[in-house]
């Protein structure tokens, strides 16, 4: 039973935590001298005060002047801006993008505190570099860009060794692991071990957006081979030059890795990222009831898309109850597309109470066109969305996107196909004729070149009145006469930081559908009616910490309501249950790490 004494004690412990977050806590280290300068977690470069230089054996290893954090920050930004200025006229945009990534990566490798401060303060400018879209280019060029290892690599050759390998990681605690096998990196396909750039980029977003402590995150590449022949033949390829493991061999490798992780860090959250569809679904089914994990491409994407779809209903001036009446054509029946449809159906069922009607207005296409009940060898995950061809006159299995748009007259066209340009001029013009009072286009595939259409194409061919969102960022479109076509970024980056942080701070033993639903609903309700009217469905990425605090809190509360919360640190589930909504947001905010130089104290 919750007692008054416990309540007062919890308030006191909360206020103690509050003060400790204002006064930088000392960081206890075991290193000395040059080892400190080579450890990006604790390095301050020229920022070490003289007292620390004396205490830590750094005197003489640095130029004598102490440069303040603010000066270091300004110096970095100046070199970044001058790179930007000097390359503005270059036609090779990928060369410029990689130069920007390199300058950030060098800082990341040297001084994480400064790196994360510049990232947080300039998230709108830097997210497209460390995350989609440049991260895709980085993975494609990884063998040439590789300088220092980051994260851990477990390979098919490590079978039987993983339990001891996990103890090679230098940090005592790990809160969040992002795991990939590199088999479907963005829309770029199988990039094998070079896909490590994705877990690194995602975890950068966790630190920037959710305030996870960078000393407690771990990007992991599980190298089970690659089926990309170009990579296998490349002498500089950094991974195993063998075909991917399949079947039981594959699953037992992942099982061994998971067992090793959970033995060392039983409360670590494992986020699965960019697995090819069959393993994305299989691993989610295998593990989701066993430990705290989620699949970002299936579940994170679904929540962001659902928030955007609900926003679209509002933007059309309709009531939210009208959502199940939206005709939605989803192009791409992979992990992301099926994840979105499943969540949209769940939302429809909650609104209508009827599972059958909930999916009726949703249409699904894959590379072979419209999926109907006549489809041979239909993936079981797609079965609930397969249409009866008789539903609308002229619909047929394998019907092209253009045919489907002309016949169905959708309100929403949502692309998760990984194929650039499938929303071509004809398709967009057909959407314009759909009769919807405000059609919406979600060109969600990444990176930019894989977007189903560009923002300019969408506004030009589908009309100025549309709602537009893309997975990778595009500039807003100037429509003339001062009118602006607003570009939303429909990317799971709006949700995964909050899902991860909420799961962590509730101490959730698993991540349930209700927790994911709560995250999506929280994001959906974030926007004001005025914004939505302008076609703005998602907040600016500049607000990512505020969004994450709210999304994280809604995940914590859902975890408590579902009785899967086991508490975090000294905060037990009863204390979580006692918190009001606002207090939960405050609790989440207070637990976000923020980059400041901490005093370093050497452990004797
Ligand atoms: N914006 C976001 O937050 C997210 C975007 N994505 C993007 O979604 C894309 C797909 O990801 P997954 O579903 O995991 O891939 P996947 O490989 O599992 O599925 C791709 C699907 O697209 C279909 N497809 C291929 N060519 C097509 C065509 N010409 N017309 C219609 N359908 C076609 C395939 O048959 C398959 O069903 C990727 O580009 C990825 O970057 C994925 C997750 C999150
Ligand atoms: C954003 C993301 O997770 C993807 O494109 O795979
Ligand atoms: Mg992904």
When pLDDT is averaged across residues 447-458 and rounded to a whole number, the result is 98
297 is in an annotated binding site: yes
What does the pLDDT read at residue 356?
A: 76
Q: How confident is the model at residue 12 (pLDDT cuts 50, 70, 90)?
A: very low
The secondary element (H helix, E strand) that includes residue 574 is helix 573-578
Q: Are 280 and 181 in contact (CB under 8 A)?
A: no
Query: What is the Å distance from ligand 1's center to 341 Cα?
Result: 13
φ/ψ (deg, to 5) at 207? -70, -50
- In the three-class reduction of DSSP (H, G, I as helix; E, B as strand; rest coil), residue 490 is classed as coil
**C-alpha span between 102 and 99 (Å, rounded):** 5
- Percent above pLDDT 90 for the chain: 91
- Percent above pLDDT 70 for the chain: 96
590 is in an annotated binding site: no
When pLDDT is averaged across residues 346-373 and rounded to a whole number, the result is 91
What does the pLDDT read at residue 23?
A: 66
Catalytic residue selected from 100, 202, 361, 550: 202
Torsion from C-alpha of 564, 306, 454, 200, nearest 10 degrees: 0
When pLDDT is averaged across residues 569-597 and rounded to a whole number, the result is 98
Q: Are 412 and 442 in contact (CB under 8 A)?
A: yes
Q: How confident is the model at residue 353 (pLDDT cuts 50, 70, 90)?
A: confident
Question: Is 444 close to ligand 1, i.e. is its CB under 6 Å away?
Answer: yes
Same topology, domains 147-291 and 300-494? Answer is: yes
Query: What is the Å distance from ligand 1's center to 186 Cα?
Result: 8
Q: Are 449 and 366 in contact (CB under 8 A)?
A: no
Choose which residue among 418, 421, 443, 446 to substitute to test ligand 1 binding: the one with the highest number of ligand atoms within 8 A of its C-beta: 418
274 is in an annotated binding site: yes
* Residue 133, preceding peptide bond in cis (omega within 30° of 0): yes
Q: Are 365 and 382 in contact (CB under 8 A)?
A: no
Q: Express each pLDDT in 415-441 by its tens digit.
A: 999 999 999 999 999 999 999 999 999
What does the pLDDT read at residue 8?
A: 45
**C-alpha span between 250 and 239 (Å, rounded):** 16
Q: Express each pLDDT in 58-104 by its tens digit.
A: 999 999 999 999 999 999 999 999 999 999 888 889 999 999 999 99
pLDDT of 20 higher than 70 = no
Q: Express each pLDDT in 203-250 by its tens digit.
A: 999 999 999 999 999 999 999 999 999 999 999 999 999 999 999 999
When pLDDT is averaged across residues 177-191 and rounded to a whole number, the result is 98
Question: Of how many residues is the chain composed?
Answer: 604
Q: Express each pLDDT in 275-310 by its tens digit.
A: 999 999 999 999 999 999 999 999 999 999 999 999
Q: Are 142 and 196 in contact (CB under 8 A)?
A: yes
**C-alpha span between 120 and 204 (Å, rounded):** 10
Query: What is the Å distance from ligand 3's center to 402 Cα?
Result: 27
Computed over every residue of the chain, the mean pLDDT equals: 95
When pLDDT is averaged across residues 121-145 and rounded to a whole number, the result is 97
**Whether domain 300-494 has CATH 1.10.10.10:** no
105 is in an annotated binding site: no
**Of 486, 305, 321, nearest in space to 412 by CA:** 305
Sheet holding 176-180, edge to edge: 152-155, 217-223, 176-180, 269-272, 293-295
CA-to-CA separations, 447 to 97, 140, 268, 384, in angstroms, rounded? 13, 12, 29, 29
481 is in an annotated binding site: no
Exposed/middle/buried for residue 35 (C-beta within 10 Å: 0-12, 13-18, 19+): middle
pLDDT of 5 higher than 80 = no
Q: Are 499 and 551 in contact (CB under 8 A)?
A: yes
Query: What is the Å distance from ligand 3's center to 237 Cα?
Result: 22
Query: What is the Å distance from ligand 1's center to 304 Cα?
Result: 15
Active site residue 287: no
| Residue whose CA lies nearest to ligand 2 atom number 3 | 297
Q: How confident is the model at residue 22 (pLDDT cuts 50, 70, 90)?
A: low
Q: Taking the alpha carbons of 16, 18, 22, 25 in that order, is the dihedral positive or negative? A: positive
- In the three-class reduction of DSSP (H, G, I as helix; E, B as strand; rest coil), residue 458 is classed as helix
Tokens 């066109």 belong to residue: 369
pLDDT of 395 higher than 90 = yes
Domain ranges of the chain: 147-291, 300-494
CA angle, 114 as apex, 110 and 116 as ends, to 5°?
A: 100
Active site residue 131: yes
Name the pairing type of β-strands 269-272 and 176-180. parallel
- In the three-class reduction of DSSP (H, G, I as helix; E, B as strand; rest coil), residue 517 is classed as helix
Q: Are 117 and 71 in contact (CB under 8 A)?
A: no
Alpha helices in 265-400 (DSSP H): 277-287, 301-315, 335-352, 355-358
What does the pLDDT read at residue 24?
A: 74
Exposed/middle/buried for residue 167 (C-beta within 10 Å: 0-12, 13-18, 19+): exposed
Distance spanning both ends of the chain, measured CA to CA: 43
pLDDT of 2 higher than 70 = no
| Residue whose CA lies nearest to ligand 2 atom number 5 | 186
Torsion from C-alpha of 315, 321, 322, 325, nearest 10 degrees: 130
When pLDDT is averaged across residues 263-279 and rounded to a whole number, the result is 98
Q: Express each pLDDT in 456-474 by its tens digit.
A: 999 999 999 999 999 999 9
What does the pLDDT read at residue 391?
A: 86
pLDDT of 412 higher than 60 = yes
pTM recorded for the entire structure? 0.95
Q: Are 188 and 140 in contact (CB under 8 A)?
A: yes
Name the pairing type of β-strands 176-180 and 328-331. unpaired
Question: Is 422 close to ligand 1, i.e. is its CB under 6 Å away?
Answer: yes
Ligand minimally distant from the alpha carbon of residue 180: 3
What does the pLDDT read at residue 502?
A: 98
φ/ψ (deg, to 5) at 472? -105, 155
**C-alpha span between 393 and 381 (Å, rounded):** 26
- In the three-class reduction of DSSP (H, G, I as helix; E, B as strand; rest coil), residue 592 is classed as coil
**C-alpha span between 577 and 574 (Å, rounded):** 5
When pLDDT is averaged across residues 489-518 and rounded to a whole number, the result is 98
Catalytic residue selected from 131, 250, 494, 587: 131
What does the pLDDT read at residue 550?
A: 98
**Whether domain 147-291 has CATH 3.40.50.10380:** yes
Q: Is ipTM strictly over 0.85?
A: yes
Q: Express each pLDDT in 158-183 by its tens digit.
A: 999 999 999 999 999 999 999 999 99
CA-to-CA separations, 171 to 38, 166, 198, 215, 570, in angstroms, rounded? 15, 10, 21, 7, 21
């Amino acid at each position: 039973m919750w007692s008054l004494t416990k309540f007062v004690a919890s308030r006191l412990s909360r206020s103690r935590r509050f003060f400790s977050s204002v006064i930088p806590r000392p960081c206890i280290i075991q290193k000395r001298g040059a080892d400190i300068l080579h450890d990006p977690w604790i390095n301050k470069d020229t920022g070490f005060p003289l007292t620390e230089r004396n205490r830590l054996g750094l005197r003489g290893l640095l130029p004598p002047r102490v440069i303040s954090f603010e000066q270091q920050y300004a110096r970095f930004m100046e070199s970044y801006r001058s790179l930007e200025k000097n390359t503005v006229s270059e036609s090779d945009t990928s060369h410029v993008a990689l130069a920007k990534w390199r300058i950030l990566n060098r800082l990341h490798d040297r001084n994480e505190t400064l790196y994360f401060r510049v990232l947080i303060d300039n998230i709108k400018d830097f997210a497209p570099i460390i995350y989609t879209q440049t991260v895709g280019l980085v993975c494609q060029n990884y063998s040439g860009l590789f300088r220092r290892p980051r994260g851990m690599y477990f390979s098919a050759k490590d079978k039987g060794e993983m339990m001891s390998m996990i103890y090679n990681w230098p940090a005592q605690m790990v809160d969040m692991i992002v795991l990939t096998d590199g088999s479907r990196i963005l829309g770029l396909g199988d990039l094998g071990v070079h896909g490590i750039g994705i877990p690194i980029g995602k975890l950068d977003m966790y630190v920037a957006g959710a305030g996870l402590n960078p000393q407690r995150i771990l990007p992991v590449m599980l190298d089970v081979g690659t089926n990309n022949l170009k990579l296998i033949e490349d002498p500089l390829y950094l991974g195993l030059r063998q075909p991917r493991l399949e079947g039981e061999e594959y699953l037992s490798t992942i099982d061994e890795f998971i067992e090793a992780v959970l033995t060392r860090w039983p409360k670590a959250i494992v986020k699965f990222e960019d697995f090819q569809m069959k393993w994305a679904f299989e691993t989610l089914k295998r593990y989701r009831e066993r430990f705290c994990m989620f699949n970002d491409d299936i579940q994170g994407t679904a929540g962001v898309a659902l928030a955007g779809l609900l926003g679209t209903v509002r933007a059309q001036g309709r009531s939210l109850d009208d959502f199940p009446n939206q005709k939605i054509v989803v192009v791409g029946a992979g992990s992301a597309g099926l994840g979105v449809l499943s969540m949209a159906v769940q939302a429809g069922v909650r609104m209508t109470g009827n599972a059958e009607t909930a999916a009726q207005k949703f249409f699904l296409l894959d590379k072979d066109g419209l999926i109907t009940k006549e489809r041979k060898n239909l993936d079981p995950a797609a079965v609930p969305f397969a249409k009866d061809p008789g539903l609308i006159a002229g619909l047929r299995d394998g019907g092209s996107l253009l045919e489907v748009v002309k016949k169905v007259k959708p309100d929403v066209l949502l692309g998760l196909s990984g194929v650039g340009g499938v929303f071509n001029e004809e398709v967009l013009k057909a959407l314009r004729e759909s009769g919807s009072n405000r059609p919406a286009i979600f060109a969600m595939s990444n990176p930019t070149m894989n977007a189903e259409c560009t923002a300019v194409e969408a506004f030009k061919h589908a009309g100025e009145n549309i709602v537009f969102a893309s997975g990778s960022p595009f500039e807003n479109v100037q429509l003339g006469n001062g009118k602006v076509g607003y570009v939303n970024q429909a990317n799971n980056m709006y949700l995964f930081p909050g899902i991860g942080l909420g799961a962590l701070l509730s101490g959730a033993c698993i991540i349930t559908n209700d927790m994911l639903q709560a995250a999506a609903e929280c994001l959906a309700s974030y926007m004001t009616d005025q914004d939505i009217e302008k076609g703005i469905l998602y907040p600016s990425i500049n607000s990512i910490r505020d969004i994450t605090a709210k999304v994280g809190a809604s995940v914590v509360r859902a975890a408590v309501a579902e009785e899967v919360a086991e508490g975090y640190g000294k905060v037990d589930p009863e204390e979580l249950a006692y918190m009001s909504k606002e207090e939960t947001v405050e609790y989440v905010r207070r637990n976000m790490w923020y980059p400041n130089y901490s005093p370093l104290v050497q452990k004797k």
